[in-house]
Structure 1
Amino acid sequence: MEEALIPVVPMSHTAHIRSHRKPRRSASKIAMRAGVAGGILSTVAVAGASGPANAAEPVTQTLELPTLTADLAAQVAESADATELAAANYELQAERDAAAAQAAKEAKADLAVAKKKAEAKKKAEEAARKAAAERAARDAERVTLAASADVSAPSASASASTPSVTAPASGSVGTVIAFLKAQLGDAYVMGATGPNAWDCSSLVQAAFREVGVDLPRVSQDQSMMGTEVSLSNLQPGDILYWGGKGSAYHVGVYIGGGQYLDAANPSKGVVIQDLSGYPASGAVRVL
């Protein structure tokens, strides 16, 4: 009888190593894992069952969202309108404030101009009154001088050494004539300006300087000053000139009674003369 052969399965070359062998799971651990898995599956099932109920809420919220969005858009639009209206009101108020400030500024400027005009008008009226008063005083003074000259007019031969007019102690015309008479007898020297020698224009210039009238230095320019007067309407204090107006070669001052005082020439010096003997070409009035 033959013996049965039992096959020999060779072992792995690592089978003898303990760390390479997987430990078998115990029944208790398998049961525990099955319980945990069953719990998880039941939780998933519950969650799955409650899912449809929970899914209904977003549907409701989704349906209400357009309504909320429309209200929000209306609120935003209303807020934008309110903001725009407020901005327009602010701009209008700013324009009104600017216009009011400009109006106030213009009113202030107009008031200043009006005040200046009023002051200028007042000064002009005062100057006119003063000039009228001075003119009246000069006219009265000239009448007095003319009357005195008519009463006591000397002969032409004696006029060079004897004054024919008694000038008033005060007044513009009287002051001019008084100064001129104080120079009677002084020498005539071309280009001299006093105090003891004169030419015709320097004597006239110095006389009127006594009353604050600044005349040019030469006779040509002096004949262009003041207002032209006719020889038939002469008054004491008028400046006489010989030659053309603006090209005069000699000047003197009318003192009334048909006479004038001048620095005549080197042979006569400062004298009083009759107009009839040496008629002037014209006359100007500066006082």
Structure 2
Amino acid sequence: MSHTAHIRSHRKPRRSASKIAMRAGVAGGVLSTLAVAGASGSASAAEPVTQTLELPTLTADLSAQVAESATATELAAANYQLEAERDAAAAQAAKEAKADLAEAKKKAEAKKKAAEAARRAAAERAERAARDAERPTLTASASADVSTSTSTATGSAAAVVAFVKAQVGKAYVSGATGPSAYDCSGLVQAAFKQVGISLPRVSQDQSTAGTQVSLSNLQPGDILYWGSAGSAYHVAVYVGDGMFVGAQNPSTGVAEKPLSYDPPTGAVRVL
């Protein structure tokens, strides 16, 4: 018996061919299963990749939409700004037009007043000229009928005389009632207002405001008128000594004149 007979061999026992084939088959099946699973897993894993590839397209669409929205917003803002500028310009134009219209109206009103004053002054001059042409020239005998009394005014008459004399030199302005300018009836009205007597505003009415008196019996403070009573075109105040004070016309203004300068038609007494 050999000295190595009881020592086990360190070599692995040989396997039979059938076992090897079975194990190879099993291994092949496992590998096939793993391969299928791997393929399935790979296929499953591929789906997210497909979705990931589509994301850039979605992102590009969204960017385009955002860009379009931004452009629309900018256009809307520009339109609003343009509209606001147009509204502001229209408001400014309307304001300027309103101011121009007001100024034009003011100028037109001033021109109208000036034209009316000129018309009234011209009418008074024309009426006076017509009356003077119709009235006979004052003769010496007629002059004798006009009083040249030297009696001194007293009381209210003195106050009226003093007032009209104080206005001598002031301007004649049609329609004016003082204190810096007068027309003929405005001066007479203002003079009698000083003594508490309210006279009508115009010459026609003032020529019938009191008692008719003869020109041969005049007293200081009497109202002289030119034209017919009730349709007189000029008035003045007799101040005594054959003199009268009246707002004559734009060239002479308020002046003191002798009766012979422009002989009156009649007179009324209210004091």
Instruction: State the TM-score, normalizing by the size of structure 1.
Output: 0.41
Of structures 1 and 2, the one with the larger relative CO (CA 8 A, separation 6+) is 2
TM score, norm. by length of structure 2: 0.43
Larger Rg computed on CA atoms: 1
